[in-house]
Amino acid sequence: MITAPKDEVVKCNRCGFCLAACPVYQATGVETKAPRGRNSLARALLDKNFTWSPETRDSLFQCLSCRACVEACFPAVETDEIVISMRSDYYREFGEPWLQRYLFRRLLPDPRKLSAALKKAFLLQSGARLIRALSFLPWLNRHLLRAMDFLPPLPDQTLRERWPALMGEQKDQGKKIAYFGGCAFNFALPDIGLATLSLLLKSGNQVFWPEHGCCGLPAYGHGDLEGARIMARKNLRVFQDLDIEAVVTECASCSSFLKKYPVLLAREPGSAEQAQKFSSRVLDISEFLATQTLSFPQNHQTLKVTFHDPCHLNRFQQIKSQPRDLLKKVPGLQFVEMPEADWCCGGGAGLNLANYDLSMKILQRKMDNLQRSKAQVLVTSCPGCYLQLRHGANRNSMAVEVHYLTEVLARVVKTS
Ligand code: SF4
Ligand code: SF4
């Protein structure tokens, strides 16, 4: 039975204002994949007037969790949260796939176990060509195979293994901050993580990096709410005794979810207070850097740069001007706004892994808008968006460089 609060579901008056805002509806034209249709399904579930079918299952699992519908909706119906509740109910009824459950309950909360598992995956990745050669087998997920093209090759060393090399830049003075290095940077994109750490050190901070696990958003987004709570409780324990002023991360998805811990753990008296204390210190990197004095050198390049708003930055945290203001300070970059900069890139909630074709259709709208902006550099601040946009630029053979915000800043910011 659906656990989405009935009060939320019945707020939907079926007006349809959300239809123009939903990237999935705009790409498919299918009402059950629109916010209004998803809310009608939730209502039918509540009224026990419903049976599951492949179409209704798709309605649940083809939502990007982008919250564009909430922004467009007069009563602000939280359709993304209703969908997540329905996913949770779906697993309660039909069971969660064992591999997904193992990932969310065992591997992601434990960075050492995850690291060991990924080293084995490194070997698997080397055999990816073999997997592709077997793609005629019906049980191999066609979407997953195609999505393998945009997943980066796993690096030889994790960010955690490379971090000690930066420790020489650490000073005994400055703001004490903790870095929350999302799984994507630790295991797949360590160069970006190193750029972030170096930027934090260059701007005069003392940086600590406790051994934490995943923030929990992947589990939450897929409807494994207990999996998300396990990760949250564990992270709270890791950070509770640290004498720090802020917890900073360059991952928009991590920062938005770490700020949500008080809601996630609201019914647990012991953890709720601890979560409140922790989350009040969490800052996304662009929020944190907006409070810092950064020194930039002179340079004479004039490249047009634009910014793609990750949904978890813009809609979940209302952070819109800070990354733009930072980019405008970089000498030689001329900021241009792209049409629909906050339209989801199509990678939200792992849609690119679950339904590659639909995800690419949504991505194409972003790429067309990028072309219209005439920008030569596209910057973003969420690892999921970054990989998706890079894939989009390659697919369209565009002469556009796709970069991460901290990469761009770390290259030019001088030590203060
Ligand atoms: S979700 Fe909001 S905008 Fe969409 S139909 Fe319901 S009330 Fe209208
Ligand atoms: S969260 Fe995004 S994809 Fe999901 S229903 Fe709302 S607008 Fe559509």
At 320, which CATH number?
3.40.50
| Residue where a domain terminates, one of 46, 62, 94 | 94
CATH number at residue 47: 1.10.1060.10
Q: Is 16 in the pocket of ligand 1 (CB under 6 A)?
A: yes
- Average the pLDDT over 316-333 and give the result: 95
Q: Pick from 238, 246, 198: which is nearest to 214 by CA?
A: 238
Average pLDDT over residues 189-207: 94
Q: What is the predicted pLDDT for the residue at 145? A: 62
Residue 17: the pLDDT is 97
As a whole number, the mean pLDDT across the chain is 90
**Residue keyed to tokens 């219209």:** 372
Question: What average pLDDT score do residues 127-136 get?
Answer: 50
Structure token pair of residue 318: 């209302």
Q: What is the pLDDT of residue 304?
A: 96
Q: Is the CB of residue 17 below 6 angstroms from any atom belonging to ligand 1? A: yes
Instruction: Kindly give the distance from the C-alpha atom of residue 148 to the centroid of ligand 2, in angstroms, as a whole number.
Output: 25
Residue 172 within any structural domain of the chain: no
CA distance 378 to 338: 10
Asked if residue 393 is part of any domain, the answer here is: yes
Residue 236 in any domain: the answer is no
Buried b (16+ CB within 10 A) or exposed e, 342-365: bbbbbbbbbbbbbbbebbbbbbeb
**Is residue 71 included in any domain, yes or no?**
yes
State the pLDDT at residue 131: 52
pLDDT of residue 114: 84
Q: Which residue's alpha carbon is at the smallest distance from atom 7 of ligand 1?
A: 12
What is the arithmetic mean of pLDDT over 83-108?
Answer: 89
pLDDT tens-digit series, residues 162-185: 998 887 778 788 899 999 999 999
Is residue 109 a part of any domain in this protein? Answer: no
SS3 285: helix
Highest mean pLDDT among 108-117, 266-275, 316-325: 316-325
**Average pLDDT of the residues in 350-370:** 94
| Rounded Cα gap, residues 305 and 408, in angstroms | 11
Spatial separation of the C-alpha atoms in residues 183 and 79, rounded to whole Å: 27
Question: Domain containing 20: what range?
Answer: 6-94
Question: Distance (Å, rounded) from C-alpha 83 to C-alpha 61?
Answer: 8
Q: In the prediction, which pLDDT does 138 show?
A: 44
Asked if residue 20 has its Cβ within 6 Å of ligand 1, the reply is no
pLDDT at position 5: 72
165 against 400, higher pLDDT: 400
Q: How confident is the model at residue 297 (pLDDT cuts 50, 70, 90)?
A: confident
When pLDDT is averaged across residues 121-139 and rounded to a whole number, the result is 51
Query: How many structural domains does the chain have?
Result: 2
User: Which pTM value belongs to this model?
Assistant: 0.93
Encode pLDDT of 225-254 as tens digits: 999 999 999 999 999 999 999 999 999 999
Ligand 1 centre and the CA of 248: distance in Å? 35
pLDDT at res. 172: 81
Cα–Cα distance, 60 to 83 (Å, whole number): 6
Q: Is 45 in the pocket of ligand 1 (CB under 6 A)?
A: no
- Residue 360's pLDDT is what? 95
Grade residue 132 by pLDDT with cuts at 50, 70 and 90. low
Residue 139 pLDDT class (50, 70, 90 cuts): very low
**Ligand 2 neighbours (beta carbon < 6 A):** 21-24, 35, 38, 63-69, 79-80
Q: Identify whether 66 is part of a domain.
A: yes
SS3 label, residue 393 = helix
Ligand with smallest separation from the Cα of 69 = 2
What's the pLDDT at 125?
A: 56
User: Distance from the CA of 66 to the center of ligand 1, in angstroms?
Assistant: 15
**Atom 8 (ligand 1) nearest CA:** 15
Cα Dmax for the chain: 66
Q: Whose CA is nearest to atom 4 of ligand 2?
A: 63
Low-confidence winner among 52-56, 57-61, 186-190, 277-281 (lowest mean pLDDT) = 52-56
Give the residue-averaged pLDDT of 112-125.
Answer: 71
The answer for residues whose C-beta is within 8 angstroms of residue 294's C-beta and 6 or more apart is: 203, 326, 329, 409, 413, 416
Whether 278 is in a domain gets the answer no
Give me the pLDDT at residue 122, please. Answer: 58
Of 404, 397, 343, 335, whose CA–CA distance to 369 is shortest? Answer: 343
CA distance 296 to 202: 11
Domain-located, residue 85? yes
Given the CA of residue 17, which atom of ligand 1 is nearest to it? 3
Show which of 62, 94, 126 is a domain's final residue: 94
pLDDT tens profile 365-376: 999 999 999 999
Instruction: Mention every residue, 6+ apart, whose C-beta is less than 8 A from residue 102.
Output: none
Kindly provide the residue ranges of all beta strands, DSSP E only, lying in 93-205, ordered along the sequence. 176-179
Domain end (from 41, 62, 94)? 94
